[in-house]
Homo-oligomer: A and B are copies of this chain.
Amino acid sequence: MPYINIKVTDEGVTAEQKKALIRGTTELMVKVLNKTPNTTFVVIDEVNTDNWGIGYEQVTEIRGK
């Protein structure tokens, strides 16, 4: 039943990393909460660095320094 949404900046997350995030998050739900993998959703959102702000600035600006 868990639904897990992972939001990260779109800075080159590879297919392998996505698989690792999905496996790791699902495994955590199984181990900690005894949830069923087949009804555990993991959704990864990749956000443009122009669209993510922290400390008043866009990540694009922060990366540019």
Contacts and interface: CB of A to CB of B under 8 A. Distances in A.
A54 to B, nearest CB: 6
A45 B47 CA distance: 8
Contacts of A53: 18, 21-23, 25-26, 41-44
Contacts of A41: 1, 3, 41, 52-54
Given A23-B56, A33-B13, A51 B18 contact: yes
B3 A4 contact: no
Contacts of A5: 4-5, 7
Contacts of A46: 51
5 contacts: A5-B5, A5-B7, A13-B33, A27-B56, A45-B47
